Structure 1
């Protein structure tokens, strides 16, 4: 009987430790500030009056 009790208590302790760790990780991730969404590469805007060479070209 003592071995069964020890096994049960070990399982309960492991489950509590896992739940506490998961809760701590989620709390730590929520506490970190969000990163700015700044693109690494930017492309210049095309001129508004220029016609696109690929638009309207029918194949066939």
Structure 2
């Protein structure tokens, strides 16, 4: 009977430790500030009224 009790207590302690570790990891991840989402490359906005009728420097 003592081996069964020892096995049960070992499982209970392991479950408690795993739960504590999971909560600790989540708390550590929540404590880290989020990184800003800044793009490395930006492109100019297209004109609002559509393409222009004048050809560009590469046309023709």
* TM band (smaller chain): 0.7 to 0.9
CA separation in 2, counterparts of 1:48 and 1:16? Answer: 60
Q: Aligned pairs, how many?
A: 52
| Match in the other structure for 2:2 | 2
Q: Tell me if 1:41 matches 2:31.
A: no
* Deviation for aligned residue 1:48: 3.6
Q: Unpaired segments of 5 or more residues in structure 2?
A: 53-60
Q: What do residues 19-60 of structure 1 show as CA deviations (whole Å, max 9, x unaligned)?
A: 0000000000000001011011111122344428xxxxxxxx
Question: What is the TM-score normalised by the length of structure 2?
Answer: 0.76
- SS for the counterpart of 2:37 is coil
Instruction: Give the alignment's Cα RMSD to 1 decimal.
Output: 1.6
Aligned residue in 2 for 1:29: 29
Query: If the length of structure 1 is used for normalisation, what is the TM-score?
Result: 0.76
Provide structure 1 residue ranges, at least 5 long, that are not aligned to the other structure.
Answer: 53-60
